[in-house]
Chains A and B, each alone.
Chain A
Amino acid sequence: MQPLRTKLFKGMNLTVFSLVMVFLYIPILILIIFSFNDARIVTGWQGFTLKYYKQLFQNRTIQEAFWNTMLIAGLSTLISTALGILTALGLENKRFTGRKGVLALIYTPLMMPDILMGVSLALLFNFTRVNTGMFTVLIAHITFCISYTAIVIQSRLEGFDYSLVEAAADLGARPSYIFWKIKFPLMMPGIIAAALLSFTLSIDDFIITFFTSGRGFDTLPIYVEGTIRRGTITTINSLSTLMIGFTLLLVVLTKRVRKIIISAM
């Protein structure tokens, strides 16, 4: 095939692409650089230091917030992925009489601004006089993760090759054997993608946690927002750099994860 004569657009697209890349990465780069800057406020370069990283590892509140975040993300990922797997298997049956209703129920939360889920859960917990804390945050995180896990796993099942299952059945394999030995392993990439997605969503969430956490239970985003509000920002840069580093490590180093992420998007 002869190449398209689209010089004009090609040049324009490359230009916009490069500009967007700069736009996406400049703030992050500055943040990383300034985490090593020996200045109390962010005004110019004052010399290299690691003291904010040291402070970070001495700060009890940050460590507690970190472990809270991991606990909530881990548990909500586990539960929402399990619920997602069950739902996806239920939706696999195209003649399922409740299929449309269940799909509508899963998709609706995605079409609403996060803040509405935060408000509605906050009022539910007030109405039922439930004390807010770790437990309510966990419930909230599972609630917003379910939709994502169910959809990701379900869309993976859509392109499922049933000939393997049929072949196994023809050869006399029992249903439980077929499920655990054939179907489940084939579902695995979808399950991993769903779990990764809900883990990141949980770590990232501010607003829903803000409405459901009450005093005394801080996750990292809640802690960071509070610190920015109080104006004591010196450790935030180093904390942020470590968190960015963690993401990069996860995305760049593991080829498998990268592939799964791309296919999940």
Chain B
Amino acid sequence: MSLHGLVQIALFFGAVFATTKPLGAYMARVFAREATFAGRVLGPLERLVYRAARIDHRAEMTWKTYALAALTFNLVGIVALYTLQRMQGILPGNPQAMGAVPPDLAWNTAISFVTNTDWQAYSGEATMSYFVQAAGLTVQNFVSAATGIAAAIALIRSFSRRNSQSIGNFWFDLVRATLFVLLPLACVVALVLASQGVVQTWDPYVTIPLVESTKDASGNTVAHQILALGPAASQIAIKHLGTNGGGFFNANSAHPFENPTPLSNFVEMWAIFAIPSALCFAFGKMVGDARQGWAVLAAMTVLFVPMIALCTLSEQAGNPALRNLPVDDVQSLLSAGGNMEGKEVRFGISASALFATVTTAASCGAVNAMHDSLTPLGGLVPMGLMQLGEVVFGGVGSGLYGILVFAIIAVFVGGLMVGRTPEYLGKKIESFEMKMASLVILIPASVVLVGTAVAVVTAAGQKGIANPGAHGFSEVLYAFSSAANNNGSAFAGLSVNSVFYNIATGLAMLIGRFGVMVPVLAIAGSLAKKKLVPPSLGTLPTHTLLFVTMLVGVIVLVGALTFIPALALGPIVEQIASSKS
């Protein structure tokens, strides 16, 4: 790994950890209804929202009411986003006169953005009007992230409450996450991105004359270039902060109008990890022991480091298929070298590998390089990170509640070893919590494996595959890993805009999102009812190196046992074949 690559990674983590504590402490105050500066400024707006929607934001909810509110809100979101896409042709803000989005694609996209997946079976600049991108997709970028934060906050609350029937108010958590956390950050990030060249305009696409004319596939001369524009910066900011990942343009953060400079790239990567890491601190703060939050964050970081190393080294090593051609892929002062297929020169190897690792460690799914063209082991990294369940930082909210479920499993395993009833943060972990935790692990994993199996044995599934051999299998495995874990990135050679994939990945996203969130809320409801057990000599402390090691071990073990057979058929066999050639 090059020196500047290492410095870049160090700077990245420096920036993320620098904001972890202040942002986390702020979020803890926001959700505990304590006074904040933002509260003074945005308070009137917040009260207006509650009054207009006739909501009593102080009414406490049982976990079932909380879950019902979340599900209803997301259902309404799906219907609204579907309707907007279908009516696109007659709505304003459509200078390129885009027609209605076809029903299966609109259904898939609506689910995709509501579930915080942002899987895209469409090309943004060729399919979506400015209005639908702003009033439909951007909105779900905010509120799907806020839904994840709300569920995480509800789970955190359940640890600090005792003998309580309720876990908070969903509407309060949702509105606060949107207005007090996401919106102010998005404003700042959008302005920084626009300063770098991310477009933000409602003007129609611009036509310019080419310096040298070229030919299209049928041999016709092309003398002009039409530059797709749009209100991108406002959407890109929340696309990253909310770990959504749905690009304004088809090439996502590889597009020069979506990610024009190494600095914009750095800011976009920071924005992906900012809230997931800050939520760890907020968790520690809200349960009254900051060390608990740091321990979780440490486990995430420990899981991340070998992945970024493997991805960078593998991409820098280059593609053996070009080895005996007169091609220079050696890194030097004048060239990044390495595997440059599907990468942009301004990012080179280091900033592309870091982005690919960050975007899949978190359930963001934005890409600044085409993952389909990564080397076999370089592509194993993003796939593996998704399959671990999106808990290495993970999605905003969903990453934290995901890893807390793993923490519950870790204390359970610890309890089995010494023969005591396990407890976490003073709450006894009993059979109900373990049943729900098992569902959280099993549901996305089985969706990935069953979905992949169905796709590779049916003609409709095989038809989408673009690359021959083991890599074609990887494309399908990647697609279902991404959908079921709500990441949204793709091995994009796979043609997913077909009725089969639109329906299959749509179902995978729905089950992967709510099949996890509802059991998590059930755990919250159960924990809130319990009393606090004072720690005793037999209690496994959950802020120590030992526990971090156990937590990492449980995550790796569960992921490896579930997915190594499937990975062996894809990236691993491709790596063996590729290094032999």
A associates with B = no
